[in-house]
Amino acid sequence: MKNKNKIKIVIIVAIIIIFMSLGVYGYFIYKKSVTNNMVLGYNDIEVNEKYQPPLKIEKGTSFQKEPTVTNNGNVDCYVRVKSLVSDSRVEDGLSIDYDKENYKYNEEDGYYYYQKVLKPGDTTEPLFTTVEILEKASDDVLNGFEIYVYAESVQTVKDMNMEQVWNYFNKTE
């Protein structure tokens, strides 16, 4: 009888060891695989311009300058553009025909905000097309000047309009 009890105990212990081993083995060989495909969006713009400089800088002349912005990224974006003259004394002697139909000027930050979403591969309308040197211009204009065009963009955000997106990114902390 003692031998039968010992045999039963050995069998029970062996069964327990086998089940525990199977559980540990199952834990270590369990494998679950999930594939997440993700495409990263990037926001990339480029300032371009058609520019026909005047042969001679003199009062009363005008010349073509058409700055545009192209979306080279793979996401929709909003664009804002700033235009600065290299010498502030020259500004009063120039007339620049800014596009007020497609751009909205913000006096607080000095940017012209393009009023449409710029899709990948698309180009904005020109910020302006013609620069005229006025008759009343000072002689400083005749010494030469440059017009700098700088652009920034932000990716569009679902359920947010252009002002909300730019305000979000303009927060100072």
3-state SS class at 106: strand
- Render pLDDT for 38-80 as a digit per residue (tens, 0 to 9): 767 788 999 999 998 888 888 888 999 999 999 999 999 999 9
- The confidence score (pLDDT) of residue 173 equals 46
The two tokens of residue 52 are 């026909």
Q: Report which of 45, 42, 52, 64 is spatially closest to residue 124, judged by C-alpha positions.
A: 45
pLDDT of 35 > 50? The answer is yes
- What is the rounded distance in angstroms from the CA atom of residue 98 to the CA atom of residue 104? 10
Please tell me the pTM assigned to this model: 0.74
Pairing of strands 103-106, 111-114: antiparallel
- Dmax over CA atoms of the chain, in Å, equals 125
Give the residue from 128, 125, 171 showing the smallest Cα distance to 149: 128
Band of residue 118 on the pLDDT scale cut at 50, 70, 90: very high
